Structure 1
């Protein structure tokens, strides 16, 4: 039984590898893009909440606009929990009946649910 020359085996293996890369590279690229988008959403949400808690000018309004735009552009169910927590934090920040210390404690609890914090 003859197995053929080595060059044909190398060419066949190279073709199989090329097909595997062509089939799975788009999935890997989409996965990386999704993770990058989620990381960016987490970072921006954390920074905006920190600014709103520090009573920076227009920070609550900016957080509100960011959450609305992110909700409309969200196509990843993994980001739903982040946006939900962001909306709950926004509701707390807008509620004037709650004292600042209670607000900060509740915000810390909410951010802890999604592994975020008010500290840098």
Structure 2
């Protein structure tokens, strides 16, 4: 039984490395894509909430949450969307109370938890 030449060993090592890369690369790419999608969702949410604060109208936030329930973000970014729902509830409760300054402070505190 022979061990084989150096060239055969080098070929075997290269093939093993290629198989490992081929198996691991899709996982890395999917993870990168998920992080990018999460970052984009958070940036969009920040813009929508800031616009809702300026206009004192949460309709765009409500629409955003309704649409996001049908996307893959509903599972992946559950915590972020839960914070957005809390913000929407603050908007709704703030309209009834009429106290927008304390509501805005609470909303801005919640926004700090979802920074991208």
TM-score, normalised relative to structure 2:
0.84
- 5+ residue gaps, structure 2: none
Displacement over 3 Å in runs of 4+: 74-78
Going by fraction, where is helix more abundant, 1 or 2?
2
Q: How does 1:11-90 map to 2 (within 5 A)?
A: 11-55=11-55, 60-74=58-72, 77-90=75-88
TM-score, normalised relative to structure 1:
0.81
Alignment RMSD: 2.2
Aligned to 2:92: 94
- 5+ residue gaps, structure 1: none
Distance 1:80 1:53, change over 3 A: same
Residue correspondences, number:
114
Secondary structure of 1:54's partner? helix
